[in-house]
Structure 1
Amino acid sequence: MDTSFPFADWFRNSSTYIDAHRGRTFVVLIEGEGLTPERRAPLIQDLALLHVLGVRLVLVFGVRAQVRQALEAASLTPRRHQGRFVVDEACMTLIEREASTLRLAIEARLSPGLSNTPLHGVEINAISGNLVMAKPLGIREGIDFLRAGEVRRVRSDAIRTLLDQRSLVVLPPLGYSSTGEVFDLDAADIARHTAIALGADKLIIVGRAGGLYSPQGRLMRQPNLQEAQALVCQHENAELAEHVHIACDAARQGVGRTHLVSWQDRDALLAELFTRDGVGTMITRERYEQLRGARIDDIGGLLELLRPLEERGMLVARSRERLEQEIDDYVVIERDGMVIGCAALHPYPEAGSGELACVAVHTSYRGGERGDLLLDGVEQRAREKGLSSLFALTTHTLHWFLERGFETADVEALPERRRQHYNPQRNSRVLLKVLSASGTSGAKR
């Protein structure tokens, strides 16, 4: 009788992330739409779980949806300019009321110990206060914004002290001036300033959109800064555009990773943080997935990657000892600590040529451009070594090489030293490619 539970496998696989996140600082922005009475409970429960797992949490919340509803109920229509409300006293009264109401609701859900949930009995200290200093927007293009403000500074030392005391810090979209006034602030801007000031490991933005999508409707899981900014220009979603702008700015200023997920997905927060691929978009200054030279500590990952292809006869079996001896010949694609692709360049300088060997991509990550990325990396290495051509031997993937500029050749075209080790029983096809001086491989991009 099979008594296995999918949850058990997920929990086992998440253990790496539980350990990696412990002691890290996360700034989480949740827009007001995600914190309506019918939606807030599961989100706050997941935040509490992160806190229990040892994450140092700062929660920034928005009240845009709540304020919009309150303004409609009061028949107030504040003037908008440059994307912000002109906040008079009547409008500010509503904003303060909605921010205070939601802050109290969040704290109530966290105290004491989230009754009727798996975290019942766990005490969480949720602390708020005058932790964000503000200044007025002032007069812009002749328009006085009155009580609308912007972040002057975040009291990062005070926040760190609270985090050191195992408190969960809650920041409403309000700021306090040196003259004792309260200003309406953009919650997303507070989150950006806070993440930068704390040098946060992660900035997590929970909005309506589930991430950034290409024009073809494909979720962009890990765009670089340039790709993210180019893509968002094609969207008409003002909230998403703001979130991407904040994510890119945070990345440039030292925030490790910014994640964009949606409050519409009940499990998005945990799925993004505790699975390898996540469910949203992650923006980093450096690529989460990178091509680099192989290191000796990659041997275990290489063996695991190559074993299925060797068992199918697609690659010649390589022992651990051989990989250790040739490790400097390899490039790998690393994804969050896992080797998901590799290729080797074995040089034959006496012939001005090199062998492209052992090209492999993990079965879960095929269908993209990782093979092209590996080929580009090997070609670049070959040029740096002064080689003018590449050759490859294959039994299964002839067309892949032909599509990338290789041509079929006879065994006699191989360097003499390599020809001596050619195995006629495998009957591998020989392919040859002359390297261009420009450094373009002809691979699709």
Structure 2
Amino acid sequence: MADISSHQFVHWFRQSSPYINAHRGKTFVLLLEGDAFLSDTLENLIADIALLHSLGVKLVLVHGARPQLHQRLTEAGLHWHTHQDRLIAHPDLMPHLLASVGAVRSELEARLSMGLPNSPMHGAALRVMSGNLITARPMGVRDGIDFHFSGEVRKVQTEAIQDLLDKGAIVLMSPLGYSATGEAFDLDAESVAMAAATHLNADKLILLGQDAGLKNTEDQLIRELAPREADPHLARLDSHTTLSRHLRAACWACRRGVKRAHLLSYLRDGALLQELFTRDGDGTMLTQQGYETLRGATIEDVGGLLALLKPFEDQGILVRRSRELLEAEIERFTVIDRDGSIIGCAALYPYPEQRAGELACVVIAPEYRRGQRGDALLAHIQRQARAQGLDQLFVLTTHTAHWFREHGFEPASVESLPMARRALYNWQRNSRIFVKWL
């Protein structure tokens, strides 16, 4: 058992290294709901956050405190009201609100300061900085309702936050904002996280709630979603739920420049690490698709594919494909469409009986290389292959052996090919064969 465990650890660590390199120096904004502080998984989650910091990720932590406030108000015998999904912060509630937020912030600072021997936080020596980093304005009167000290984000002190991040600190932001007149206002934690992520041009907004991502109507986890695809899901969700609020926040942030937003569960031990350092992730990722998209090919793409492939066919790198053949096999192709131009492609030819698939025709236009588009195509084809129940990919190449070796393919022989593909092998081209297990 120990040998198996060690082998799994080594395999995972090797597979995670590209993500470690990709995340180093990036800015992540994490929203941790107040409910998380009542969870048994909090200690491990804090340790995982510390691990992210140790790997060079710049972290902004935004915390909620709503359940803690409700408990204080209940114990004090005070009633509270909401309107438009917002707490009406009456002056009588403010001392309890400030105390609740302060208690949660202190607990989070204390937990991030732990460094006991034999604990995940040993030797972390984290610096956690907070302050008046949000300028707020009152919501005022809406629908005839005075919101008193309920506020909205007016300004994020971007330069101050960035300076703290550059100095190696974790920035902690509470759901409070302050006005120029010295008043404190209650803010939505989601609004603080959204504003911080967009003003800082964060690479990721990570929203940790109770739900393990967004599921479809068949109760299947949706791994990836574009903001424009979220409306049907928002329509069927109860607008009062945390998941609905998080989904709206993720869409809002992505539409305003945040590269990716993630919906995760703080109840799932290790969900944060799984999402960031494994290929399949653990929750739902939202990303805004710009004018460059990766999609399945259609018959209208045949002309663009012919133009893309011709130079490589002329050089003998690719086997020549006629228009008729491309039209017949168009459903096998995935393309990268940049504002109407096809700048990349790849194809998957499955052999279901052998649970294998051929990765073919991987091409990126020369002027668009160095942008990891080949990696994106490969990742997409691998997802397609897994969805079709295939266990391995094989590829035949004469010029790009090193690229495939760098992406996990291993040399193989003609005999390893499915029988139907082996019969078509062109011995004159003498292509090299590589295989990757999925």
The alignment's TM-score, normalised by the length of structure 2, stands at 0.70
8 Å CA contact 1:113, 1:124 repeated in 2: no
261 and 335 in structure 1: CA distance in 2 versus 1, 3 angstrom threshold:
farther
Picking from 290, 295, 308, the partner of 1:291 is 295
Which of 135, 152, 155 is residue 153 of structure 1 equivalent to?
155
Evaluate the alpha carbon distance shift between residue 137 and residue 314 of structure 1 in structure 2; reply closer, same or farther with a 3 A threshold: closer
- Among 319, 333, 337, the residue aligned to 2:376: 337
Distance 1:364 1:169, change over 3 A: same
Cα displacement string for residues 128-178 of structure 1 (whole angstroms, at most 9, x for unaligned residues): 000011011111111111111111111011000000000000001110111
Question: What secondary structure, in the 3-state scheme, does the structure 1 residue paired with 2:257 have?
Answer: coil
Asked whether 1:264 is paired with 2:286, we answer no
User: Take 2:198 and 2:232, find their aligned partners in 1: how far apart are those partners?
Assistant: 23
Instruction: Report the secondary structure of 1:233's partner residue.
Output: helix
Whole-Å separation in 2 of the counterparts to 1:47 and 1:317: 38
- 1:15-46, Cα deviation, whole Å (9 max, x unpaired): 11111100000000010001227442211111
**Shift in alpha-carbon separation, 1:37–1:282, aligned structure 2, 3 A:** closer
Pick closer, same or farther for the CA change 1:26–1:315 going to 2, 3 Å. closer
Deviations 1:189-223 (A, max 9, x none): 00000000000000000011111111111111111
Q: Does 1:282 align with 2:278?
A: no
Q: How far 1:336 moved relative to its partner? A: 6.3
Pair 1:289–1:110, CA change in 2 (3 A): farther
**4+ runs deviating over 6 angstroms:** 292-296, 304-308, 313-318, 333-336
Check the 8 A contact 1:174/1:185 in 2, yes or no.
yes
Task: Determine which of 252, 255, 258 is the counterpart of 1:255.
Answer: 258
Q: What is the Cα deviation at residue 366 of structure 1?
A: 2.4
What's 1:216 paired with?
218
C-alpha distance 305-114 of structure 1, shift in aligned 2 (>3 A): farther
Q: 1:327 to 1:18 in 2, by over 3 A?
A: closer
Residues 41 and 268 in structure 2, CA contact (< 8 A), matched pair in contact too: no
Per the TM alignment, residue 228 of structure 1 is displaced from its structure 2 partner at its CA by 1.6
Instruction: Tell me which moved more, 267-276 or 189-198.
Output: 267-276
Output the amino acid matched with 2:266: W
Per-residue deviation, 1:308? 9.3
Match of 1:386 in 2: none
User: Any idea what SS the aligned residue of 2:378 has?
Assistant: strand
CA deviations on 1:319-348 (whole Å, 9 max, x unpaired) are: xxxx68x877xxxx9796360466xxxxxx
2:122 aligned partner, one-letter code: H
Q: Which amino acid aligns with 1:363?
A: A
Say if 1:148 and 1:364 are closer, same or farther in 2 by CA, change over 3 A: same
2: CA distance, partners of 1:2 / 1:121 = 26
Q: In the alignment, is the contact (CA less than 8 A) between 1:276 and 1:336 conserved in 2?
A: no
- 1:361-395: CA deviations, max 9, x gaps? 75324269xxxxxxxxxxxxxxxxxxxxxxxxxxx
Paired amino acid for 2:265: S
The one-letter code matched in structure 2 to 1:239 is T
- Mapped to 2, the partners of 1:316 and 1:182 lie a distance apart of 61
Q: Deviations over 1:246-267 (max 9, x none)?
A: 1111111100100000111011
Amino acid at match of 1:291: R
1:341/1:19 CA distance change after superposition, 3 Å = closer
Aligned to 1:66: 68
CA distance in structure 1 between the partners assigned to 2:383 and 2:64 by the alignment: 42
- 8 Å CA contact retained: 1:334, 1:341: no
Q: CA separation of 1:311/1:106 partners in 2, compared to 1, >3 Å: closer, same or farther? A: same
Paired letter, 1:136: P
The answer for unaligned runs of 5 or more in structure 2 is: 297-304, 319-343, 366-371, 391-417, 425-438
1:78 Cα offset (Å): 1.3
Query: Any conservation in 2 of the 1:29–1:187 contact (CA below 8 Å)?
Result: yes
1:48 aligns with 2:50: yes
Q: 1:108 aligns with which of 107, 110, 121?
A: 110
Unpaired segments ≥5 residues, structure 1: 343-359, 369-395, 399-422, 427-445
Aligned residue in 1 for 2:405 = none
Letter in 2 for 1:339: L
Say which SS state the counterpart of residue 59 (structure 1) adopts. Answer: strand
Letter in 1 for 2:295: L
Change (3 A) 1:133 1:111: same
CA distance in 2, matches of 1:216, 1:33: 27
What's the counterpart of residue 3 of structure 1?
A: 3
Matches within 5 A, 1:26-425: 26-36=28-38, 38-113=40-115, 116-236=118-238, 238-286=241-289, 290-291=294-295, 337=376, 339-340=378-379, 363-366=385-388
2:289 partner SS: coil
CA RMSD of aligned residues (A): 3.9
How far has the Cα of 1:291 moved from its partner? 3.1
CA contact (8 A) 2:114 2:121 kept: no
CA distance, structure 1, for counterparts of residue 357 and residue 160 of structure 2? 58
Q: Structure 1 length as normaliser, TM-score?
A: 0.69
Q: Distance in 1 between matches of 2:358 and 2:184?
A: 70
- Report the number of matched residues: 347
CA 364–289 in structure 1, closer or farther in 2 if over 3 Å, else same: farther
Give the Cα–Cα distance (whole angstroms) in 2 for the partners of residues 176 and 221 of structure 1: 38
User: Quick one: percent identity of the two aligned structures?
Assistant: 41
State the one-letter code of the partner of 2:88: V
**Which whole-Å CA distance do the structure 2 matches of 1:361 and 1:36 have between them?**
37
